Structure 1
Amino acid sequence: MTQSESLPVDGGGAADAPNPATAKGARSPSSVRQLAAASVGNAAEWYDWYAYSFLAIYFADQVFPKGSGNSLVPLLSSFAVFAVGFFMRPVGGLLMGAVADRRGRRAALTVTILLMGGGSLLVALTPTYASVGVLAPVVLVIARLVQGLSVGGEFAASTTFLIESAGPGRRGLFSSFQYVSTTIGQLLASGSAALLAHLLTDKQMGDWGWRVPFLLGALISLVGFWIRQGARETREAARQTGARPTLFEGVRRYPRQSLLICGITAGGTLAYYTWTTYLPTYAQVNANFGKGDALLAGTIPLAFFAVLQPLGGLLSDRVGRKPLLIGFALGFAALAVPLLHAIDGSFVSLLLVQCAGMVLLTGYTSVAAAVNAEVFPARVRAAGIGFPYSLTVALFGGTAPYVGTWFKQSGHPDAFPWYVAGLCLISACVYLVLPETAKRPLDR
Structure 2
Amino acid sequence: MTLTLSPTRRPVRQLAAASVGNAVEWYDWYAYTFLATYIADQIFPKGADNSLVPLLSTFAVFAVGFFMRPVGGLLMGAVADRSGRRAALTVTILLMGGSSLLVGLTPTYASAGVLAPVVLVLARLLQGLSVGGEFAASTTFLVESAGAGRRGLFSSFQYVSTTIGQLIASGVAALLVRLLDDGQMDAWGWRLPFVLGAVLSLAGFWIRRGAHETRSAEQATARPGLFEALRRYPRASLLIGGITAGGTLAYYTWTSYLPTYAELNAGVPKSDALLAGTLALAFFAVLQPVGGLLSDRYGRRPLLLFFGLGFALLCVPLLRLIDGSFVSLLLVSCAGMVLLTGFTSISAAVNAEVFPARVRAAGIGFPYSLTVALFGGTAPYMGTLFKQVERPGLFPWYVAALCLVSSVVYLRLPETAHRALDR
Tell whether the structures are fold-level matches, with TM greater than 0.5: yes
Alignment partners' CA distance in 2, 1:105 and 1:40: 15
Matched ranges for 1:186-197 at <5 A: 186-197=166-177
Structure 2 segments unaligned to the other structure (5+ residues): 48-53
CA contact (8 A) 2:65 2:125 kept: yes
Alignment partners' CA distance in 1, 2:356 and 2:374: 25
Matched, 1:52 2:32: yes
CA drift of 1:289 comes to 4.8
SS at match of 1:435: coil
Q: Which amino acid aligns with 2:88?
A: A
- Which residue among 343, 353, 358 is the counterpart of 1:379? 358
- Which residue among 335, 354, 358 is the counterpart of 2:333? 354
CA drift of 1:303 comes to 1.5
SS at match of 1:282: helix
Counterpart position of 1:438: 417
- Greater mean alpha carbon deviation, residues 315-324 or residues 286-295: 286-295
> How high is the sequence identity, in percent, across the aligned residues?
80
CA drift of 1:394 comes to 1.0
CA contact (8 A) 2:309 2:407 kept: yes
Cα distance change of structure 1 residues 226 and 197 upon mapping to structure 2, 3 Å threshold: same
Counterpart position of 2:252: 273
CA contact (8 A) 2:284 2:338 kept: yes
Matched, 1:146 2:131: no
Matched, 1:113 2:93: yes
CA contact (8 A) 1:173 1:314 kept: yes
Matched, 1:423 2:389: no
Alignment partners' CA distance in 1, 2:397 and 2:182: 33
The Cα offsets for residues 141-170 of structure 1, whole Å up to 9 and x where unpaired, read as 221110110011111111111111110111
Matched, 1:309 2:294: no
CA contact (8 A) 2:307 2:339 kept: yes
CA drift of 1:308 comes to 0.5
SS at match of 1:88: helix
CA contact (8 A) 2:246 2:405 kept: yes
- Which residue among 71, 83, 86 is the counterpart of 2:66? 86
TM-score using structure 1 length: 0.86
Counterpart position of 1:219: 199
Counterpart position of 2:307: 328
Cα distance change of structure 1 residues 169 and 19 upon mapping to structure 2, 3 Å threshold: farther
Cα distance change of structure 1 residues 405 and 220 upon mapping to structure 2, 3 Å threshold: farther
Counterpart position of 2:6: 21
Name the count of aligned residue pairs.
416
SS at match of 2:166: helix
- Greater mean alpha carbon deviation, residues 418-427 or residues 428-437: 418-427
Counterpart position of 2:18: 38
The Cα offsets for residues 150-208 of structure 1, whole Å up to 9 and x where unpaired, read as 01111111111111111011111111111111111111112223333444566765565
Cα distance change of structure 1 residues 199 and 417 upon mapping to structure 2, 3 Å threshold: farther
SS at match of 1:158: helix
Counterpart position of 1:10: none
Cα distance change of structure 1 residues 196 and 102 upon mapping to structure 2, 3 Å threshold: same
What is the Cα-based RMSD across aligned positions, in Å?
2.7
The Cα offsets for residues 259-295 of structure 1, whole Å up to 9 and x where unpaired, read as 0000000111111112112333334444455554433
CA contact (8 A) 2:309 2:403 kept: yes
SS at match of 1:87: helix
TM-score using structure 2 length: 0.90
Counterpart position of 1:5: none
- Greater mean alpha carbon deviation, residues 305-314 or residues 56-65: 56-65
Counterpart position of 2:219: 240
Structure 1 segments unaligned to the other structure (5+ residues): 1-17, 68-73
